[in-house]
Structure formats: structure tokens, C-alpha cells
Structure 1
Amino acid sequence: MEAPGHDGTAHYPRTAVVTGADRGIGKATAIALAGAGFDVGFTWHDDEAGAADTAMQIGELGRRSASLWLDTTDLPSCAPAVNTLAKELGGLGVFVNNVGVGLTASVLNTSLEDWRQILDTNLNGAFMCLQEAARLLVAGGSGGRIVAVTSVHAQQPRFGFGAYCASKFGLDGLLRVMAVELSGHGITVNAVAPGEIATHLHATETRHPHDIPRPGIPLGHAGTAAEIAAVIAFLASPGAGYVTGASWAVDGGMSQMGAQASSLLPDDSWRQASQRGTSNGP
């Protein structure tokens, strides 16, 4: 196959691999890419029924799917998982690294075990997956796309997010270097940085996320997984052929509120990192 031509047309295989697509942003991304004409391989971790539903929805869109279970803290298993899915699809054109977990705990109260879990999941495991995807794309000789889900906290710190911010800052830096190193192969590398995305609403919540007021966000509400997936699908399209090394904040303007937010905070409650624990998130 040819590398991308001067007309911007992409000639890489219409196949994509997405990590963590059993729910949330990963699931929405796998479905969006299938809707854009890609066969999609994906990994899953927590929700086997959700993974089956992702595969069903890909099939309903007339595309092939392949899936396997992956824990990205098991570093030696990451590259083989990407390779296996790419082989099952017959090649690789787009890779989306989505897996990520969060931890709310101050640096003083973060254990080494928790630190390692966050870094292994969000950065070290991501590196292994991204490296293998890059090697496959280079070997394919047809260009391609790499997109990783980071966070607005890949560039802005937050109290109680020491391990999380370290992992996302690191991932953002890795992507920027990869964008430079892979440019000669016709491979673009970009980040999508979500803000507050309503992927974990309580089961009793019937309102659409856009109908739940969030005064601290300029657009006034949280985003949806589908809104993140739409940006990822664009970055995987021919229309984004001249975009690389960029970080796309998809946050309703939240990241622009720094100085103004600090002047309007009514008390010191922001200093509390009381909800300690891990959770899935961008």
C-alpha cells in the first residue's frame, strides 16, 4: 500500500485497535471508528458483558471485531495483545490508547504500591502498547494514526492527583516525542485530553449529562464519551492528516478557568483529598 499522498488521502489499512473498550470512552471510540468504516479490535478489563455489547454494536455497523482481555499493569502482556488483535484484523491502521485509572490521594498519603499501579496502568502499560503499535505501523509502510486519551490534568495539576498527573504528564510527553520520531513514516501521533466526562453517573440518574448543571465549566455541563470519541475519530480520518504532536482539550472550556476559578472558590474544601481510591477515568 502507498503512504499518504499529497492530496491528504489516507492509504493505511481500515483497521483500528482500541484499548479498554468495554465501557466509557473506549467503548464509544470503538463504535465511532466502526461507524467511520474501520474494523475494530479492542481490549477489555472490567466488564465482559460490556465488551460483548461493543462487539455486537460494531457488527451492527457492518464491521468486523476482535477482542481480548488485558490488564495493562501486566507489562509483558501489552505488546502481544496489540499484535494479536492487529493480526486477527489483517493489519493495523489506527491505534487508540484509552486505558487509564485514577487515584485521589495526596502525595503524602500515596503508597508506593498505589503509585506503581497508576504508573503501570496509565504510563508504563501505555508505553508498551504504543511502542508495539508504532512498530506495526512502521513495518506496514502505509502510514497511520496513533491517538492516546490523556486528560486536562496532563498539563494542569490538581490537588490529590499526584500519581495521576505524573502518569498523564509523562504520557503527554511521550506522545510528543513519538510524533516527531514517527513523522517520517507518515504516522501522526496526537493526544485527546478530556475534562469532566460523565461516564460514571449513578444508575438512578436519568438526566442527560448536558442537563446536569456544572457551573465551573464554561459550557455549563460535563461532556459525554461520544463527544470524546468524535474527536478521536476525526484524528483518525484523512481530514486530520496534517495534525500531529497536538493535544486536543475536550473539556467544555474547563481548562481555561484557572485564574478565574481561584478567585471565586468560596472556601478551602478544594484542599481535601478525602475520596481516596482508584477509579477508571481519562
Structure 2
Amino acid sequence: MNGSGPRPRIPTTAVVTGADSGIGRAVAVRLAQAGMDVGITWHTDEQGARDTADEVSAQGRRPAVARLDLTDLPAAARVIDGLAEDLGRIDVLVNNAGTGTATPFLDIGLDTLREVLDVDLAGPFLCSQHAARRMIEQGDGGRIVNVTSVHEHQPRVGAAPYCAAKGGLGLLTQVMALELAEYGITVNAVAPGEIATPMTGQEETDVTRAARPGIPLGRPGDAREVAAVVAFLAGPDASYVTGASWAVDGGMLRMGPMAGSHLTGNAWRRS
């Protein structure tokens, strides 16, 4: 191999997991605006997925919708193949579906640990395998974007399985980037901070009015701000970007030592 890889094509199809709301919906719509037909997966909110599909259609692109339960592995990952068949090919995979827990380390059971690791780590692993094999067969490269979290890089009390999974997904991203580069497939992570979504209980929040003194930019993020970075990594302008993790956090990660030196109590020990 000379390392040049196949010439990448302008992406026309994408699959976004967990696209029934929040970041996933914003990503699906942004990729449709960029000219892609979009496969949309949902777990419990079918109507939310249909609403996302309507937004994709409103951009003049074709949606395809399927249920994806990442606790049912390895069978669930075959949904990626089904959506690729429906759309005709797959140029971009965005592993966005995720779950978490707010439970002290000593109280977490094995079932909870396994569920979070399956959804947040093993699921993206297997979905990426299915997508990458198709991209290789197509012969003109592709893009994989893993939505991790700032907790890919920094821990959080009460989120041991989540942090373990997201940290693992961050390193998996780097290994995938190395191994898939010869096929013209780039692999990157996007690590959101506090984003106003249903998952954080802020679906209707006006981020311009929500004060967050501990975040340098002073507010939570909007899902569309994450989607913009995903769209960049999924598009032709990021053709020489791979193996990187892009924090979209308003500067939150830079506050670690600053926050630590200014804490006056032990409230941080509780989730």
C-alpha cells in the first residue's frame, strides 16, 4: 500500500444512529442540508424519528427510518446494512446513539455496566464494522464520526460506565483511523459538553439565556453547534482529518484545574 487510498467521492448518503431527537436529529438535518439522503435510527421514540424524517424531506433529501436496539448485539448492527440497502450505499456513518447512568460506582450492578458498554461502545464498534465493510466494497472511501463526550477525556462522578465507554470509544476511534486510512475512510470523534437536548432535560432551553458560570463561553451548547462540526468532518473539506477528537464544549475541558482550585465544598462528590 502506498498510503494514498482511493479518491473520496462527495458523500450523498449517511446513517445517523439515535436521530429521533437532540444531537442526532440536528446532525441528520444538517447532513440533509449538505445534500445527503439520511438513514435515521430510533430506539424508543418512533414518532421522533418520523419527525426527523420529515425535516430531512423538507431539505429535499430522502430519509429512511429503522429501529435500532444496541442492547441486542450483534444482530442490531445489521440495521446499518438494511439502511445502506435502502439508500443505495453508505458514505457516512455517525454513531450518535447512547445512554448513561447517574449512579455511584459502588452501587452500579453488572447489568447496568453491560448495558451502557453495549450501547456506547460495543454498538458503535459493530455498526462501524458493517459500515466500513460496505465503504471498502464501494471502493471510494467514506467517513465515520463517533459522538463521544467531554467524558471521553475527563471523568465525572456517578458516571463510571459512561466514562469508561466514551473513553474506550475515543481510543477505538484512533485505532479505526489507523486501520481504515488505506481505504480512504476517515474516522473522527466529536466530544460534546453540556448540550441543550432531551437527554440533559433542556429540550426547550434558549441557550443564549441559560447562565453557566463554569463554562468559559457562559452557556450550554445548542445541538446544531455540534451538528455543524459533525457535518464538517463528514464532508469533503475534512478529507485530511482523521483520528482526532473535536471537543464542542464552550471551553469546558479547559476548566479542570481552574474549577478544582476554586471549589469550596464537597458537593462535587455527589452526582
Into which bin does the TM-score normalised by the smaller protein fall? over 0.9
Of the three residues 6, 25, 30, the one matched with 1:3 is 6
Tell me if structure 2 keeps the 8 A contact 1:103–1:161.
Answer: yes
Tell me if structure 2 keeps the 8 A contact 1:16–1:33.
Answer: yes
Of the three residues 179, 197, 200, the one matched with 1:199 is 197
Gaps of 5+ in 2: none
Distance 1:261 1:210 in 2: 22
Of the three residues 47, 50, 54, the one matched with 2:52 is 54
Letter in 2 for 1:148: N
Which secondary structure does the structure 2 equivalent of 1:17 belong to? strand
Measured at CA, do residues 76 and 254 of structure 1 come closer, stay the same or move farther in structure 2, by a change above 3 Å? same
Distance 2:215 2:189 in 1: 21
Corresponding residue for 1:38? 36
Cα-to-partner distance string for 1:181-226 (whole Å, 9 max, x where unaligned): 00011110000000000103658x8651121000000000000111
Corresponding residue for 1:89? 87
The structural deviation recorded for 1:263 is: 1.0
Corresponding residue for 2:64? 66
Please identify, of 216-225 and 101-110, the stretch whose mean Cα deviation from structure 2 is larger. 101-110
Of the three residues 134, 145, 152, the one matched with 2:143 is 145
Measured at CA, do residues 88 and 153 of structure 1 come closer, stay the same or move farther in structure 2, by a change above 3 Å? same
Tell me if structure 1 keeps the 8 A contact 2:10–2:235.
Answer: no
Fraction of identical pairs, as percent: 55
Tell me if structure 2 keeps the 8 A contact 1:3–1:11.
Answer: no
Corresponding residue for 1:104? 102
Distance 2:124 2:173 in 1: 10
Tell me if structure 2 keeps the 8 A contact 1:12–1:144.
Answer: no
The structural deviation recorded for 1:12 is: 5.0
Which secondary structure does the structure 2 equivalent of 1:82 belong to? helix
Corresponding residue for 1:244? 242
The structural deviation recorded for 1:94 is: 0.5
Which secondary structure does the structure 2 equivalent of 1:40 belong to? strand
Tell me if structure 2 keeps the 8 A contact 1:218–1:252.
Answer: yes
Letter in 1 for 2:35: G
Q: Across the two proteins, how many residue pairs are aligned to each other?
A: 266
Distance 2:201 2:105 in 1: 29
Measured at CA, do residues 207 and 100 of structure 1 come closer, stay the same or move farther in structure 2, by a change above 3 Å? closer
Measured at CA, do residues 156 and 207 of structure 1 come closer, stay the same or move farther in structure 2, by a change above 3 Å? closer
Which secondary structure does the structure 2 equivalent of 1:192 belong to? strand
Which secondary structure does the structure 2 equivalent of 1:136 belong to? helix
The structural deviation recorded for 1:70 is: 0.9
| TM-score, with length taken from structure 1 | 0.91
The structural deviation recorded for 1:82 is: 0.1
Tell me if structure 2 keeps the 8 A contact 1:179–1:245.
Answer: yes
Tell me if structure 2 keeps the 8 A contact 1:82–1:133.
Answer: yes
Over 2 Å off, 4+ runs: 76-79, 200-203
1:114 aligns with 2:117: no
Distance 2:253 2:96 in 1: 20
Letter in 2 for 1:268: N
Measured at CA, do residues 177 and 103 of structure 1 come closer, stay the same or move farther in structure 2, by a change above 3 Å? same
Gaps of 5+ in 1: 5-9, 274-282
Letter in 2 for 1:61: Q
Of the three residues 133, 136, 147, the one matched with 1:135 is 133
1:24 aligns with 2:22: yes
Alignment RMSD (CA, Å): 1.5
